[in-house]
Amino acid sequence: MSDERESVQVTRLSRSARREQVFVALFMSGFYEPSEIDEALTNYFDMQDYSEVIRESIVSRYRAVKEQEGTIDSVLAGLAVGWDLSRMGRAEINILRQAVYEILYDEDIPEKVAANEAVELAKKYGGAEASGFVNGILGKVIRKNHESDI
């Protein structure tokens, strides 16, 4: 028996769906050694049947967030009073990283949209109180960003 699966390549994906896929890539990368991440992401996206354009946009955003991860984590550590980043759930920290990237570095995405989308991801992937936690932290990030450049 051959594995005959009809493949329809996805050529359009909403911003929310792309954001979710970036989150998945960020989350997945935490389970691999740095030398294994590219192969793991390639394998994952091969299973998704995304067009090359969509795949590249997701991987490009993933890399942009990872490139700023140190700065983003410093911002989060400074605002998450009483929370060590290592104590945060993997879903929550990666949702926050992506949202903080959008708030600080992506002028095309309104801050409130970034925060609302992050809260929705937290409801879907985080723990019972994740959405409130994510919302609270991102509110602080937005306020701090308005007071001074972070």
Domain boundaries, the chain: 15-147
| pLDDT given at position 66 | 97
**Average pLDDT, rounded, for the chain:** 90
pTM: 0.89
Per the CB < 8 A criterion, the answer to whether 117 and 129 are in contact is: no
Model pLDDT for residues 70-112, shown as the tens digit of each residue: 999 999 999 988 778 888 899 999 999 999 999 999 999 999 9
Q: Which residues contact 32 (CB under 8 A, 6 or more apart)?
A: 40
| pLDDT given at position 62 | 97
**What CATH topology corresponds to 15-147?**
N-utilizing Substance Protein B Homolog; Chain A (1.10.940)
Per the CB < 8 A criterion, the answer to whether 11 and 52 are in contact is: no
Average pLDDT over residues 14-43: 94
Model pLDDT for residues 41-52, shown as the tens digit of each residue: 999 988 988 889
The residue with tokens 């997945």 is 28
